[in-house]
Structure 1
Amino acid sequence: MVHYTKPHLTVIDQVALLQRRGLGVTDAAAAERALSRIGYYRLSGYWYPMRRPNPRGGRQDDFLAQAAFVDAVDLYVFDKKLRLLFLDAIERLEVALRVAVALQLGAYDPWFHRDPSKLDAKFTTADGRTGRSKHDEWLSRLDASVGRSKEEFVRHFQSRYTSELPIWIAIELWDFGLLSHFVSGMALRDRDRIAGQMGLPRSSLLTSWVRAINDLRNICAHHGRLWNRVFISTPSLPRVGEIPSLDHLRNIQVTKLYAVAAVLRQMLLAINPGSQWHDRLKIHLQTFPQSPLLHMSSTGFPLDWERLDLWN
C-alpha cells in the first residue's frame, strides 16, 4: 500500500500519455473529444486487452503494436448498444414476472406480500443480531419507494383509502431488485407455480436465474461494461436433459455474459415466443470491432453459438 501520487491530467495530456505508451492515435482532436465525452477511466476498460501482457500477471502500461484508440472507442459504442439490447429483453421479463406474481398471490390475499405467515421462513425469520428479517428489510425498501413515488395512481389510491397498496398496485413500484428478492422469499409452492409459468422445471432455477438477470440489469442501468466482464452472480445450470437446449452451458465459462444471455433467452421463449430479440442480438454481434487484439469470445459466446437450437 502506497500513497496515490499520480497527477491530474488534462484531456490533451491524456492523449499525449497514451501516445507515449504506444496506443495508435490517428486523429488527436477526435481522441480528445472522445475522452471529454466518455472519460479516460471508462475507456481504459476497453483498451486494457491492447496493453502488453505482464509476465507476472496482468498488463503493462505500454500497448501492443496493433493497438488503436479508435478500436477502443468502437468497442465502447458496441458495448453501449449491447447494454440497450439486454435492457429491452430484461424489461419484457420483468413485466411478465410482475404480472404472474400479482395474479397468483393477489388471488389469495390483496396484501399477501405483507404477511410473513404466507412466505418462506428463511425470508421472514428475524436475524438474531438485528431483530429484523429479510422480509422486514424488504418492506422498508418498498414503503420508502411508495413514500417517494410521484405516480398518479399512488396519489389517487392514498387520497381515497386508508389501506396499504394491494399487491397488484404495489408491484408496479417494485424495481427488479425488489422483485428478485421477493420471488426468492416466496413459499416453495408459489415459487414452483411461477417457475412453471416461466417455462422452468424447478423453482431453484427461477430464483437463481432472476438473481443473475437482476445483476445484469444493474450493470446495464449503471452503464457498466458487459464485454469481457466476469459476473459474480451466475445462473444455476439445469440438470443434463432437463432443458436440452441449455445442455451446452456445461461446456462454457458460466461467469461470462453468454450464460446469462442463454437463460434470459430461454425465459423469453416461454413468456414471449414471438419475440425477435434473439435475431437482433445476432445482428448486433456481427458488428463487433475488427481488431486482432479484441475478441468476441471474451463475452463467453461459444463458436457458432448462433447455430444452436436455443437461438433458432
Structure 2
Amino acid sequence: MFSKQAITIAQQIDQLKTRGLAISNEAIATAYLSNISYYRLGEYWYVMQSDKKNHIFKPNSNFTDVVALYNFDAKLRILLFEVIEKIEISLRTKLIYHLSHEIDPWWFQNFTLFTDSMALVKTLAKLEEELSRTKDVTIKNHKKKHREDLRFPPAWKSLEQTSFGALSKLYGNLKPTVKSKDTIAKELGAVNHTYLPSWLQSIAQIRNFCAHHSRLWNRNLPGAPKLLSKPPNAWVLDVPKQHEFQKLYTHMCLMKYMLNVIQPNNDFTQQLDNLFSTYPNVDPHALGMKPNWQQEPLWK
C-alpha cells in the first residue's frame, strides 16, 4: 500500500541534497519548487541518478542543470508548437478546399466516403461537442440563420473549430478511392495517401504533448511513421533506423519536411540550432539528434 506523505518545499530541498544533488542557492531552488512541482522536475533529474531505486544522484549532479533541462524542454515545445500550427492550418485548408470541391461542403459527415463508420461517429460527436460550446460568432450566426438545416455548418465553418487530431483522423479514415486523399498527400510532399496518415498521427501526438506542457526531452515516442524510400523533396542522407523512431529527431524531420513544402523559407533549422547553442549542457542524443544534423539536405 502506498504510504508516502506530502513534504514541504524545505524538506524537498533537504531530501535532494541528502541524495547528492548539489543546490548552491536554496532561495532559487525554493522559487522553482514553488512554481514547478517536485514530481515534474523529477522527470529531468531522473537520468542524473545512479541508483534509481534509492534515488541517489551521480557525482557532480547540480540543480542548475535540472533547471536548464526544464527550460530547454519548455522552449522546444514552444518552437515545435509554432511549426505544428503551420502544418495544422495547411492540412485544414487543403481538406476543406479539395473535398468541398470534389464532393460537397458536408463531405465530412458523408459515411460513404469513410472506411471506419464507428471512428467517424466518434469524430463527429467530438465535433458536435466543440461546435456546441464555441463562442465563435460565425457558428452562432449560422445556427441562428439556418435553424431548419439540421446538418453541421459547412466544412469551412465546422472544421475551423476542430483539433489537429480530429483532422488527422478524418484524413486517415477517408477511403483510398477519394481522389482528394492523394491530392493532399502530394501537396504535402508525401507522394500518396499511404504515408501521410502516419505522419499526421505522429505530429498530432507531439502537438498534444506540447499543449499539455508534457516533457519531450528524453521521451520515447510510440508509433512508427512510414518513411518514403525516395522522397521527392530534400531529405536526410543518414536515414533514421526503425529503432530510432521512438526519438524526437525522426518526428522533427517529418515536421521539417512538411514545413519546407508549406513555407520554403522557414527558419526552423536556425531556431533549433540556436536552442541547442543556448543550452550547451543538454545532450542532443537524448532527442536522437544525428551528428551534424544541420548539414543534412533537409535541414540546410
Unaligned ranges ≥5, structure 2: none
Equivalent in the alignment of 1:48: 46
Structure 1 residue matching 2:298: 3-state secondary structure: helix
The reply on whether 1:304 has 2:285 as its aligned counterpart is no
Equivalent in the alignment of 1:159: 144
Q: Say whether the 8 Å CA contact 1:93–1:268 is kept in structure 2.
A: yes
Equivalent in the alignment of 1:172: 160
Unaligned ranges ≥5, structure 1: 125-132
TM-score (norm 1): 0.90
Q: Say whether the 8 Å CA contact 1:237–1:249 is kept in structure 2.
A: no
How much has 1:191 moved relative to structure 2?
Answer: 1.7
Equivalent in the alignment of 2:25: 27
Q: Say whether the 8 Å CA contact 1:51–1:59 is kept in structure 2.
A: no
The reply on whether 1:286 has 2:277 as its aligned counterpart is yes
Q: Say whether the 8 Å CA contact 1:79–1:227 is kept in structure 2.
A: yes
Equivalent in the alignment of 1:184: 172
Give me the whole-angstrom Cα distance separating, in 1, the residues matched to 2:248 and 2:261. Answer: 21
State the one-letter code of the partner of 1:10: T
Equivalent in the alignment of 1:110: 105
State the one-letter code of the partner of 1:309: P
Structure 2 residue matching 1:250: 3-state secondary structure: coil
Q: CA offsets, 1:188-213, max 9 Å, x none?
A: 23221110110111212110000000
Q: CA offsets, 1:215-262, max 9 Å, x none?
A: 000001000111100001332222256666145233471101101100
Give me the whole-angstrom Cα distance separating, in 2, the residues matched to 1:241 and 1:310. Answer: 11
Equivalent in the alignment of 1:228: 218
Structure 2 residue matching 1:248: 3-state secondary structure: coil
Equivalent in the alignment of 1:37: 35
Could you say what the CA RMSD is over the residues aligned between the two structures, in angstroms?
1.6
Give me the whole-angstrom Cα distance separating, in 1, the residues matched to 2:180 and 2:97. Answer: 11
Q: Say whether the 8 Å CA contact 1:94–1:176 is kept in structure 2.
A: yes
76, 81, 85: which one aligns with 1:87? 81
State percent identity of aligned pairs: 30
Give me the whole-angstrom Cα distance separating, in 2, the residues matched to 1:234 and 1:39. Answer: 32
TM-score (norm 2): 0.93
Give me the whole-angstrom Cα distance separating, in 2, the residues matched to 1:195 and 1:83. Answer: 26
The reply on whether 1:267 has 2:258 as its aligned counterpart is yes
